[in-house]
Amino acid sequence: MPSPSPIKPSPVKLYDFHPPVEDFRSAVLRGLSLPQKMLSPQFLYDKRGSELFDAICQLPEYYLTRTEMDILRANAKDIAAALGDRSLVELGSGSSQKIRILLDAAPQVATYVGVDISRQHLQEACAALMADFDGLDAIAVCADYTQPLPIESIPELRNRPTIGFFPGSSIGNLEPAEAIAFLKTVAVLGDLIVGVDLKKSPIILEPAYDDTQGISAAFALNVLVRINRELGANFDLSQFEYRAHYNEAKGRIEMAIASLCDQTVHLGDTEIGFKAGETLRTECSYKYTVDEFQLLAMEAGFQPVQVWIDRHQLFSLHHLKQM
């Protein structure tokens, strides 16, 4: 595990394990060379991508965020009791809206650790938490949370009890086998509170991922802007469009960027060909029944303790304990 990069003085302590640009380049080239071109969803979240995702969360079609926040508010006392006085580690912290509900209900939590790939967005969110919650120590860890967490490189977490918070149904971005492997990796945190989107009609699902204002499309296409900026590629965004479809047989939303014509994109010295209609998959979002997810969690070595669900049966929040 590399040592944290030096940082400028800041009210927020930052441990920077952000993958270097060479890793981004190699991952992009590898993904674009596959028969089904694809990119890891983590690459969607540069600063602009994080801002666009925050905007998506406010859309009327995007039920996930407001429903999960409703669940957190309605059950804050029970969830706060589950947290105890452990250090709270949020994976994929984003704007930290949801964590505020828990911190309001759990003043006994003295240490918050936000783990996210978007460094600037993460630091700003942690600084806001420290400003708003007296006595809270908010620590920013810039890292790919799908990789083994560098707990031993964070002095504040050594030999201290922790609990993980993984909201937003981000676990749905992983293939089921990957989700099991991920849960095994984050078992180092101890218990977990995990948000899981539930299976439902495509009439509800598809608009949530392809809104009428086009913000979901801008979010997906922003990854091409990032590749152009950071890796020197020449994607012409006017020659691509965003698509989202619910694959009911696989129980997942499939999100992709489709080429509108035969074209060749250059990334440095590498030429990448696209045929008209060919897709570059940016994300999949698996949906589960409660039983399906609990079976998956048990396969990863966790015992389901409690599940909280909204009255419309749209979303679920699971408390998992290591067996």
Say how many C-beta atoms besides its own lie within 10 A of residue 202's C-beta.
12
Q: Encode pLDDT of 246-281 as tens digits.
A: 999 999 999 999 999 999 999 999 999 999 999 999
Q: Is the pLDDT confidence value at 8 over 50? A: no
Q: Running DSSP on this structure, what letter comes out for residue 265?
A: E
Q: Are residues 280 and 158 in contact, defined by beta-carbon separation less than 8 angstroms?
A: no
Q: Are residues 222 and 44 in contact, defined by beta-carbon separation less than 8 angstroms?
A: yes
CATH no. of 13-22+62-199+287-322: 3.40.50.150
Buried b / exposed e over 211-235, threshold 16 CB at 10 Å, is beeebbbbbbbbbbbbbbeeeebeb
Q: Cα separation of 106 and 84, whole Å? A: 8
Q: Encode pLDDT of 212-256 as tens digits.
A: 999 999 999 999 999 999 999 999 999 999 999 999 999 999 999
**Ranges of CATH 3.40.50.150 domains, the chain:** 13-22+62-199+287-322
User: Is 275 exposed, middle or buried, given 0-12, 13-18 or 19+ CB atoms closer than 10 A?
Assistant: exposed
Q: Encode pLDDT of 56-78 as tens digits.
A: 999 999 999 999 999 999 999 99
Q: Cα separation of 227 and 27, whole Å? A: 11
User: Highest-confidence range of 48-62, 138-152, 200-214, by mean pLDDT?
Assistant: 200-214
The rounded Cα 288 to chain-centroid distance in angstroms is 17
Q: What is the pLDDT of residue 9?
A: 47
